[in-house]
Each structure stands twice: as structure tokens, then as C-alpha cells.
């Protein structure tokens, strides 16, 4: 490997680590709810607002990315975002009351949305056009790693040395990520659209709107079901607390396989990959919802693994699709995609919670499976791939088209 290829590989790995840190920071409070609630004297449901508000603020902040990109170089912007997240986690660790903890989380959410709006486009800028799918899979692999190891490790730290130390460790990870970015990321100036241009044009493009709609349905369905997967597993006959942890790990580990499949097929078979993953996720959630925990340990494990593979492939595939068809609108297109994704997380949790109240964990799974169906129909009816290819041919809409 020549020096240039080695530096690109290191840069992608650093962006993957930064993605890992971002996702771990976002969802860390989920496993620390009881500890935080006991320490701050609030109900766990109240502490849960630190995740919900984080997602909604992140959705809005991503829309600032095009404006920030005009004033700050890409490398400097990424460094600043990681340092802001470090500050957020540090303030969270020091928060003596809930209101200050929530304020600290809002600070981090401001960085979170902008980061996700630019990180995939940054990866695409680093590599040749034909390698964008692989680069995206590597960088977004940080999400999978965070699911498998990040959140459980933070929770483990919280159990042994307290939730404040867990947030302090996250702050340190953010600082280390920023230092690594400074060392290996090249200086980049990725053009933005002119002021006042971009979001309006994006919202008039049916190909991108279709992608956003599918992304929103996918995220809402996933988080509407996954939020309650632990109590679902807990009702499986013969399950133990240790086995619950193993099954959750298996779900996250399956995401690695999803990332691998994405890297292998995404550049040549993007539409087929997305469609297959959507169908797989729908069938898995439907079976879990219809038959429930009585399926038994082995079938539940198989279904969880299939679900983990599918959702990992979906998040990577949909992000890559946006990059592929965005053309000169890459930055605002990814910003809106990030906003849709984060907004859908909050909506999905609300939908899942309501289904849980009415029909239990099986109801949450079944409703989530129904949410995905319109996405499948949309892809089949509109000729998703053909529409994207026609626009790419007419307008140069390929990943990396905004390269200087």
C-alpha cells in the first residue's frame, strides 16, 4: 500500500472511531437511567428526555451544516464538533441537577446533527468514486461497533465506578478522536451551495424525497421495536439475565455482518441490497410480533441476527444512496437525511411506546413491521433505482461530484 492509500485508510478509520464516539454518547444514558435517576432524584422516564431531546435537537442542528461549511474548512469543522461533544460529556459528568444535565446534552446534540450531516460526504470525498460504498461502510461501521461494544462498555463503567465517570470517559474519547483527526485527516475544502440555494432544490427532487421517506419509515420502525427488545427477550421461556446480554450482543454483532455485506455489494447492487434488507426486517418483526417470545431461544436468536444484519445494511445503504444521487447538492441532501433520521427516532419510540401500552411487546414488534411496508411498496412502484440513475446521468449525480 502506498503512502496515499495508507493515509486514506487511516483517515477512514479515524472517522469510524469518531462515529463510534458520537453514537455511544447519544445512547449512553439509556443504560444509565436508573443510576442517574437515583442520583439526581428524578424518575427514569424524566431522565429519558436526555435521549429524546438529544435526537430532536440533533435533527435540527444538522440543517446548519451547509452554512457552517461555507465558513469553516471540513477538517477544522470536524475537530470543533468533537471538542464540543467532549465539552458536553464533561459538563454532563459534573451536572449537579437534571436541568444542567439536560443543558449539557443539548450542547452535544448541536454537534451531533452537524457531524452526521457531513461525515459520510467527507468519506466520499476521500476516495475514488467507485469506492464510495466501501468508504461509507467503514465510517458508518462506527454505529455498529457502538451498538455492540460502546453502550455496554459505558454501562459497565457506570455500574462499577458511577455514571459520572462514564460520561468523563466519553469526554476523554472525544478529545482523543479530535487529536487523531488532527494528525491524519487532510485539509479539505468541500464546496457548499450558494447562500439561499440548496434545501429548496432538495425538497423538489422526488428521488431524494423517496429516499428520505424510506429512511424515516426504517428508523421509526427500528427504534419503535428495538427500544423494547430487552423486555421482549426477557419473556422468552427459560431465558436468564446472562442470556439476555448474550442475545443483545448477538444483535449488535450481526451488524458487523451487515456492514460486511454492504461493503461487498453496495457499489454494484445498491437497490437490491436495500430492498432485500427492508423485506427481511419486515418479516422478522412480523414473526416476532405474531408468535412473540414463545418462539423459544433459538428462533429468537436467528431472527435477532437477521434483524441486526438488515438494519445495518439499511442505514449504510440509504446513506450511500443519498450520496449517489445528490450530485452538487451533497451537503444539504445529507443534512436533510440526518434530520429525517433523527426525527424518526423520536417518532418511532413514541409509536412503539403506545403499541406497548395497548398490546405489549408483541404489539410493538407487529406495529413496527407494518411501518416498513410502505417503504417496500415505494421502492417497487416508483422504480427507485431507475429514477436515481436517470437523474445521475442528466445532472452528474454521482458520489463525489462536488469535488474541487
- Provide the pLDDT for residue 45: 63
Question: C-alpha angle with apex 379: 375 to 384, nearest 5 degrees?
Answer: 140
In eight-state DSSP terms, residue 148 is: I
**What does CATH list as the number for 1-189?**
1.20.1250.20
- Provide the pLDDT for residue 310: 93
- Provide the pLDDT for residue 14: 93
CA distances from 232 to 39, 84, 164, 255, 288 (A): 28, 36, 29, 20, 9
How deeply is 42 buried, as exposed, middle or buried, from its count of CB atoms within 10 A (0-12, 13-18, 19+)?
middle
Q: Does domain 193-399 have CATH number 3.90.550.10?
A: no
Using pLDDT thresholds of 50, 70 and 90, give the confidence band for residue 398: very low
- Provide the pLDDT for residue 306: 94
* Mean per-residue pLDDT, 27-39: 79
- Provide the pLDDT for residue 146: 81
- Our CA dihedral for 294, 297, 302, 307, rounded to 10 degrees, sits at 60
Least confident range of 182-191, 214-223, 294-303? 182-191
* Mean per-residue pLDDT, 223-252: 79
Return the percentage of the chain with pLDDT > 70, whole number.
88
Return the percentage of the chain with pLDDT > 90, whole number.
31
Nearest alpha carbon to residue 115 among 348, 342, 326: 342
CB atoms within 10 A of CB 262: 30
- Provide the pLDDT for residue 198: 60
Residue pLDDT, tens place only, 9-24: 889 999 999 999 998 9
86 against 296, higher pLDDT: 86
- Provide the pLDDT for residue 95: 94
272 against 349, higher pLDDT: 272
Using pLDDT thresholds of 50, 70 and 90, give the confidence band for residue 222: very high
How far apart (Å, rounded) are the C-alpha atoms in residues 342 and 54? Answer: 9
Residue pLDDT, tens place only, 121-154: 788 888 887 777 788 778 877 877 786 677 778 8
How far apart (Å, rounded) are the C-alpha atoms in residues 232 and 244? Answer: 10
- Provide the pLDDT for residue 118: 85
Mean pLDDT, all residues of the chain: 82
How far apart (Å, rounded) are the C-alpha atoms in residues 92 and 277? Answer: 37
* Mean per-residue pLDDT, 190-213: 71
- Provide the pLDDT for residue 189: 67
Question: Domain map of the chain by residue range?
Answer: 1-189, 193-399
Q: Same CATH fold, 193-399 and 1-189?
A: yes
Amino acid at each position: 500500500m502506498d503512502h496515499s492509500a495508507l493515509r486514506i485508510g487511516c483517515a477512514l478509520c479515524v472517522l469510524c472511531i469518531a462515529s463510534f464516539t458520537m453514537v455511544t454518547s447519544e445512547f449512553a444514558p439509556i443504560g444509565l437511567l436508573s443510576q442517574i435517576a437515583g442520583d439526581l432524584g428524578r424518575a427514569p422516564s424524566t431522565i429519558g428526555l436526555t435521549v429524546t431531546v438529544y435526537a430532536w435537537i440533533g435533527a435540527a442542528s444538522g440543517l446548519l451544516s451547509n452554512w457552517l461549511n461555507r465558513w469553516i474548512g471540513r477538517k477544522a469543522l470536524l475537530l470543533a464538533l468533537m471538542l464540543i461533544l467532549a465539552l458536553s460529556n464533561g459538563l454532563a459528568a459534573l451536572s449537579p441537577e437534571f436541568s444542567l444535565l439536560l443543558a449539557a446534552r443539548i450542547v452535544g446534540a448541536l454537534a451531533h446533527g452537524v457531524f452526521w450531516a457531513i461525515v459520510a460526504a467527507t468519506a466520499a470525498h476521500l476516495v475514488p468514486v467507485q469506492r464510495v460504498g466501501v468508504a461509507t461502510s467503514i465510517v458508518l461501521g462506527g454505529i455498529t461497533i457502538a451498538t455492540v461494544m460502546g453502550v455496554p462498555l459505558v454501562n459497565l463503567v457506570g455500574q462499577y465506578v458511577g455514571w459520572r465517570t462514564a460520561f468523563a470517559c466519553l469526554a476523554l474519547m472525544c478529545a482523543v478522536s479530535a487529536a487523531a483527526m488532527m494528525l491524519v485527516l487532510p485539509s479539505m475544502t468541500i464546496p457548499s451551495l450558494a447562500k439561499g440555494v440548496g434545501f429548496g432544490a432538495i425538497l423538489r427532487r422526488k428521488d431524494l424525497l423517496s429516499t428520505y421517506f424510506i429512511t424515516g419509515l426504517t428508523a421509526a420502525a427500528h427504534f419503535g421495536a428495538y427500544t423494547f427488545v430487552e423486555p421482549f427477550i426477557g419473556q422468552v421461556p427459560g431465558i436468564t439475565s446472562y442470556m439476555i446480554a448474550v442475545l443483545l450482543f448477538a444483535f449488535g454483532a450481526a451488524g458487523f455482518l451487515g456492514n460486511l455485506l454492504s461493503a461487498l455489494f453496495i457499489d454494484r447492487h445498491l437497490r437490491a441490497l436495500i430492498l432485500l434488507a427492508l423485506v427481511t426486517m419486515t418479516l422478522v418483526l412480523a414473526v416476532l410480533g405474531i408468535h412473540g417470545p414463545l418462539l423459544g431461544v433459538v428462533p429468537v436468536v436467528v431472527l435477532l441476527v437477521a434483524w441486526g444484519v438488515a438494519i445495518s445494511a439499511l442505514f449504510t445503504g440509504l446513506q450511500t444512496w443519498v450520496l449517489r444521487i445528490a450530485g452538487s447538492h451533497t451537503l444539504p441532501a445529507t443534512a436533510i437525511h440526518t434530520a429525517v433520521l433523527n426525527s424518526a427516532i423520536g417518532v418511532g419510540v413514541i409509536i412503539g411506546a403506545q403499541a406497548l401500552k395497548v398490546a405489549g411487546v408483541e404489539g410493538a414488534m407487529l406495529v413496527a413491521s407494518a411501518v416498513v411496508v410502505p417503504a417496500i411498496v415505494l421502492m417497487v412502484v416508483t422504480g427507485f433505482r431507475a429514477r436515481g440513475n436517470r437523474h445521475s446521468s442528466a445532472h452528474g449525480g454521482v458520489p463525489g461530484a462536488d469535488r474541487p
